[in-house]
Chain A
Amino acid sequence: AQKITQTQPGMFVQEKEAVTLDCTYDTSDPSYGLFWYKQPSSGEMIFLIYQGSYDQQNATEGRYSLNFQKARKSANLVISASQLGDSAMYFCATQGTQGAQKLVFGQGTRLTINP
């Protein structure tokens, strides 16, 4: 079984600051993927970044990077130089590569960027 834990229900950050959103995971799959999605107030789910469990380097996509620490089972999202448009819910998710390959989500973190 897979489980995602996001311990920060809400975070408030000043514009232009960097922010780290925490995510820890638990899985029995030897090979798995970790995902981050953004959900703005309009409701859609936007894919941000992916990290494979065997990837040697941390994933980066523009201002987003994933701080992957396999031994600690953490996959924190780092947003550099935050912008007002980054205000949204952020969800961490994991998917095993064996069996049903379902995507399991955490409960999310609501990020608010203050001007």
Chain B
Amino acid sequence: DADVTQTPRNRITKTGKRIMLECSQTKGHDRMYWYRQDPGLGLQLIYYSFDVKDINKGEISDGYSVSRQAQAKFSLSLESAIPNQTALYFCATSDTRTVTGELFFGEGSRLTVL
């Protein structure tokens, strides 16, 4: 089983619908992140959380909200989806205690908004 699990892996929805992408991790890491990747582009940070009580906006947080329900769970919501939110979404984790601080990614959630 993957250490960082994202659900759903694929979702097609319509404009105006509310969508939630969920992320859970078994790595015991304190930090969690949501990134968005548009076709042919790098990853852009949406939100990040350094612990359950700490939520921070990233570069492109407009139109998104998050909830850190527990250390292991971090969900991303699109309150009213629009077509330009069609993208591949990644959840990632990292451990404050490591020297490198590398991110461990989930397998991605591909969202299509019609």
Contact = CB atoms under 8 A, between A and B. Distances in A.
Interface string A34-54: 010000000111010010100
Interface string B11-32: 0000000000000000000000
Nearest to B56: A100
Contacts, number: 53
Contacts of B43: 45, 91, 105
Interface string A73-105: 000000000000000000100010100111111
Contacts of A52: 99-100
B94 to A, nearest CB: 8
A50 B58 CA distance: 23
B48 interface: yes
Nearest to B99: A52
Interface of B: 33, 40-45, 48, 56, 58, 88, 90, 92, 99-105, 107-108, 110
Interface of A: 4, 33, 35, 43-45, 47, 50, 52, 91, 95, 97, 100-108
Given A4-B42, A45-B90, A50-B102, 12 more contacts: A33-B101, A43-B108, A43-B110, A44-B107, A45-B108, A52-B100, A102-B48, A103-B45, A104-B45, A105-B43, A107-B41, A107-B42
